[in-house]
Chain A
Protein backbone atom coordinates (compact mmCIF):
# COMPACT_ATOMS: atom_id res chain seq x y z
CA UNK A 1 0.00 0.00 0.00
CA UNK A 2 0.88 3.66 -0.14
CA UNK A 3 3.30 4.94 2.47
CA UNK A 4 5.35 7.99 3.47
CA UNK A 5 8.71 7.96 5.22
CA UNK A 6 10.21 11.13 6.66
CA UNK A 7 13.34 11.80 8.64
CA UNK A 8 13.03 11.31 12.35
CA UNK A 9 13.44 14.23 14.67
CA UNK A 10 13.90 16.15 16.64
CA UNK A 11 15.82 18.53 14.43
CA UNK A 12 17.43 21.46 16.23
CA UNK A 13 18.90 24.39 14.29
CA UNK A 14 20.08 27.88 15.00
CA UNK A 15 18.15 30.83 13.65
CA UNK A 16 18.98 31.64 10.01
CA UNK A 17 20.28 28.12 9.34
CA UNK A 18 19.31 26.16 6.21
CA UNK A 19 16.64 23.53 6.72
CA UNK A 20 16.06 20.24 4.95
CA UNK A 21 13.53 17.65 6.10
CA UNK A 22 13.64 14.54 3.95
CA UNK A 23 10.51 12.78 2.75
CA UNK A 24 10.17 9.79 0.44
CA UNK A 25 7.05 7.98 -0.62
CA UNK A 26 5.73 4.74 -2.07
CA UNK A 27 2.61 4.90 -4.19
CA UNK A 28 1.12 3.60 -7.40
CA UNK A 29 0.40 6.05 -10.16
CA UNK A 30 0.74 9.77 -9.60
CA UNK A 31 -0.11 10.88 -6.06
CA UNK A 32 -0.44 14.43 -4.86
CA UNK A 33 2.09 15.37 -2.18
CA UNK A 34 1.70 17.71 0.78
CA UNK A 35 3.57 19.22 3.68
CA UNK A 36 1.56 20.09 6.77
CA UNK A 37 2.73 22.00 9.86
CA UNK A 38 1.43 21.60 13.41
CA UNK A 39 2.13 24.26 16.04
CA UNK A 40 1.88 23.26 19.72
CA UNK A 41 -1.67 22.48 20.83
CA UNK A 42 -3.16 23.09 17.41
CA UNK A 43 -4.38 21.13 14.43
CA UNK A 44 -2.50 20.68 11.18
CA UNK A 45 -2.24 23.43 8.59
CA UNK A 46 -1.48 22.84 4.94
CA UNK A 47 1.93 24.38 4.25
CA UNK A 48 2.38 23.54 0.56
CA UNK A 49 1.46 20.98 -2.05
CA UNK A 50 2.45 19.61 -5.46
CA UNK A 51 0.20 17.60 -7.71
CA UNK A 52 2.48 16.36 -10.49
CA UNK A 53 6.08 15.49 -11.17
CA UNK A 54 8.56 18.41 -11.15
CA UNK A 55 6.02 20.76 -9.55
CA UNK A 56 7.46 22.96 -6.83
CA UNK A 57 5.21 23.88 -3.93
CA UNK A 58 6.15 26.98 -1.95
CA UNK A 59 4.79 29.02 0.94
CA UNK A 60 6.24 31.24 3.72
CA UNK A 61 9.79 30.67 2.42
CA UNK A 62 9.42 26.89 2.43
CA UNK A 63 9.79 24.90 -0.78
CA UNK A 64 9.47 21.27 -1.87
CA UNK A 65 9.86 19.74 -5.33
CA UNK A 66 7.98 16.64 -6.46
CA UNK A 67 10.70 14.27 -7.70
CA UNK A 68 9.14 11.25 -9.39
CA UNK A 69 12.48 9.66 -10.26
CA UNK A 70 13.58 9.56 -6.62
CA UNK A 71 10.04 9.38 -5.14
CA UNK A 72 10.91 12.29 -2.88
CA UNK A 73 9.40 15.56 -1.67
CA UNK A 74 12.00 17.11 0.62
CA UNK A 75 11.09 20.28 2.52
CA UNK A 76 13.62 23.14 2.44
CA UNK A 77 13.94 26.67 3.78
CA UNK A 78 16.92 28.91 3.27
CA UNK A 79 16.83 30.75 6.61
CA UNK A 80 14.73 29.47 9.48
CA UNK A 81 13.22 31.58 12.25
CA UNK A 82 12.28 30.78 15.84
CA UNK A 83 8.62 30.97 14.76
CA UNK A 84 9.19 27.99 12.44
CA UNK A 85 9.48 25.69 15.48
CA UNK A 86 6.73 23.10 14.99
CA UNK A 87 6.09 19.54 13.85
CA UNK A 88 6.14 18.99 10.08
CA UNK A 89 4.25 16.18 8.36
CA UNK A 90 4.80 14.91 4.84
CA UNK A 91 1.71 13.34 3.27
CA UNK A 92 0.31 11.92 0.06
CA UNK A 93 -3.06 11.38 -1.53
CA UNK A 94 -2.89 8.72 -4.16
CA UNK A 95 -4.98 6.81 -6.62
CA UNK A 96 -5.14 3.76 -4.38
CA UNK A 97 -6.03 5.61 -1.17
CA UNK A 98 -9.50 6.86 -2.18
CA UNK A 99 -9.98 10.23 -0.55
CA UNK A 100 -7.70 9.38 2.37
CA UNK A 101 -4.37 11.06 2.99
CA UNK A 102 -1.40 9.00 4.16
CA UNK A 103 0.76 10.90 6.68
CA UNK A 104 4.36 10.44 7.65
CA UNK A 105 5.23 10.19 11.33
CA UNK A 106 6.18 13.85 11.63
CA UNK A 107 9.46 15.68 12.29
CA UNK A 108 9.76 18.02 15.25
CA UNK A 109 11.78 21.15 14.45
CA UNK A 110 13.21 23.41 17.14
CA UNK A 111 14.96 26.68 16.27
CA UNK A 112 17.36 28.27 18.76
CA UNK A 113 17.55 32.10 18.86
Chain B
Protein backbone atom coordinates (compact mmCIF):
# COMPACT_ATOMS: atom_id res chain seq x y z
CA UNK B 1 0.00 0.00 0.00
CA UNK B 2 1.24 3.48 -0.85
CA UNK B 3 1.41 6.02 1.90
CA UNK B 4 3.41 8.24 4.20
CA UNK B 5 5.31 6.87 7.18
CA UNK B 6 6.35 9.07 10.06
CA UNK B 7 8.63 7.86 12.82
CA UNK B 8 8.82 7.71 15.71
CA UNK B 9 5.24 8.11 16.89
CA UNK B 10 6.41 9.59 20.21
CA UNK B 11 9.66 11.46 20.78
CA UNK B 12 11.18 13.10 23.82
CA UNK B 13 13.76 15.85 23.74
CA UNK B 14 16.04 17.12 26.43
CA UNK B 15 16.75 20.82 26.76
CA UNK B 16 19.43 21.96 24.30
CA UNK B 17 19.16 18.85 22.16
CA UNK B 18 18.42 18.58 18.44
CA UNK B 19 16.04 15.85 17.32
CA UNK B 20 15.13 14.63 13.84
CA UNK B 21 11.70 13.45 12.78
CA UNK B 22 11.51 11.04 9.87
CA UNK B 23 9.04 11.22 6.98
CA UNK B 24 9.08 8.73 4.08
CA UNK B 25 6.57 8.44 1.23
CA UNK B 26 6.17 5.83 -1.52
CA UNK B 27 3.50 7.70 -3.46
CA UNK B 28 6.01 9.12 -5.97
CA UNK B 29 4.87 12.61 -4.98
CA UNK B 30 7.09 15.56 -5.83
CA UNK B 31 5.94 17.90 -3.05
CA UNK B 32 6.33 17.30 0.69
CA UNK B 33 5.36 19.40 3.70
CA UNK B 34 5.85 19.67 7.45
CA UNK B 35 3.17 21.10 9.74
CA UNK B 36 2.99 21.77 13.43
CA UNK B 37 -0.27 21.30 15.32
CA UNK B 38 -0.75 22.59 18.85
CA UNK B 39 -3.60 21.37 21.09
CA UNK B 40 -6.98 22.62 19.91
CA UNK B 41 -5.46 24.51 17.02
CA UNK B 42 -5.11 24.18 13.29
CA UNK B 43 -2.06 23.36 11.22
CA UNK B 44 0.84 25.75 10.71
CA UNK B 45 3.27 25.21 7.85
CA UNK B 46 6.92 24.85 8.86
CA UNK B 47 8.71 23.97 5.61
CA UNK B 48 7.78 22.59 2.23
CA UNK B 49 9.61 21.15 -0.73
CA UNK B 50 8.34 21.04 -4.30
CA UNK B 51 11.27 19.10 -5.72
CA UNK B 52 14.39 17.23 -4.64
CA UNK B 53 17.22 19.44 -3.35
CA UNK B 54 14.91 22.42 -2.96
CA UNK B 55 12.75 23.61 -0.06
CA UNK B 56 11.11 26.80 1.19
CA UNK B 57 10.26 28.21 4.57
CA UNK B 58 6.68 28.17 5.67
CA UNK B 59 5.03 30.38 8.24
CA UNK B 60 6.95 29.20 11.32
CA UNK B 61 10.37 27.99 10.11
CA UNK B 62 12.47 29.49 12.91
CA UNK B 63 14.13 26.81 15.02
CA UNK B 64 13.61 24.09 12.40
CA UNK B 65 15.63 22.73 9.50
CA UNK B 66 14.93 20.26 6.69
CA UNK B 67 16.67 18.44 3.84
CA UNK B 68 15.35 16.87 0.65
CA UNK B 69 18.13 14.68 -0.73
CA UNK B 70 15.75 12.01 -1.99
CA UNK B 71 12.29 12.29 -3.49
CA UNK B 72 10.79 9.93 -0.94
CA UNK B 73 12.32 11.44 2.20
CA UNK B 74 11.88 14.81 3.94
CA UNK B 75 13.30 14.73 7.49
CA UNK B 76 12.65 17.60 9.91
CA UNK B 77 15.17 18.61 12.56
CA UNK B 78 13.89 20.45 15.60
CA UNK B 79 16.88 22.42 16.83
CA UNK B 80 17.68 23.73 20.28
CA UNK B 81 16.78 27.18 18.96
CA UNK B 82 13.11 26.14 18.96
CA UNK B 83 12.15 27.15 22.47
CA UNK B 84 8.67 25.67 22.50
CA UNK B 85 8.91 22.43 20.52
CA UNK B 86 6.20 20.44 22.31
CA UNK B 87 3.59 19.76 19.61
CA UNK B 88 2.18 17.22 17.18
CA UNK B 89 4.13 17.23 13.90
CA UNK B 90 2.50 16.16 10.66
CA UNK B 91 4.18 15.36 7.37
CA UNK B 92 2.26 15.45 4.08
CA UNK B 93 2.88 15.00 0.37
CA UNK B 94 1.13 15.84 -2.89
CA UNK B 95 1.66 15.74 -6.62
CA UNK B 96 3.59 18.81 -7.61
CA UNK B 97 0.98 20.92 -9.22
CA UNK B 98 -1.66 23.16 -7.81
CA UNK B 99 -5.07 22.13 -6.55
CA UNK B 100 -4.00 18.63 -5.53
CA UNK B 101 -4.98 17.25 -2.14
CA UNK B 102 -2.30 16.38 0.38
CA UNK B 103 -1.81 12.96 1.92
CA UNK B 104 -0.80 12.89 5.57
CA UNK B 105 1.22 10.63 7.82
CA UNK B 106 0.02 9.67 11.30
CA UNK B 107 2.17 12.26 13.02
CA UNK B 108 4.93 12.42 15.63
CA UNK B 109 4.22 13.76 19.10
CA UNK B 110 7.27 15.58 20.49
CA UNK B 111 7.59 16.35 24.19
CA UNK B 112 10.23 18.00 26.32
CA UNK B 113 11.76 16.07 29.21
Contacts and interface: CB of A to CB of B under 8 A. Distances in A.
A98 B43 contact: no
Interface string A38-62: 0001111110010100000000000
A25 interface: no
A104 B37 CA distance: 12
A102 to B, nearest CB: 9
Interface stretch (B14-22, B61-69, B78-86, B92-100): B92-100
Q: Most chain-B Cβ atoms within 10 A of its Cβ — which of A42, A51, A98, A99?
A: A99
Contact of B43 (A42, A45, A89, A93): A89
Contact of B104 (A44, A93, A100): A44
A60 to B, nearest CB: 16
Interface residues of A, number: 26
Interface of A: 31-32, 34, 36, 41-46, 49, 51, 89, 93-95, 97-101, 103-106, 108
A32 B42 CA distance: 19
Contacts of B104: 36, 43-45
Given A44-B90, A99-B97, 7 more contacts: A41-B107, A42-B107, A43-B106, A51-B99, A94-B98, A99-B98, A108-B40
Given A89-B42, A106-B41, A99 B94 contact: yes
A43 B2 CA distance: 15
B13 interface: no
Given A43-B90, A98-B50, A103 B98 contact: no
Contacts of A103: 42-43
B100 A99 contact: yes
B28 interface: no
A13 to B, nearest CB: 19
Nearest to B56: A98
A97 B58 CA distance: 11
B103 A46 contact: yes
A99 B90 CA distance: 17
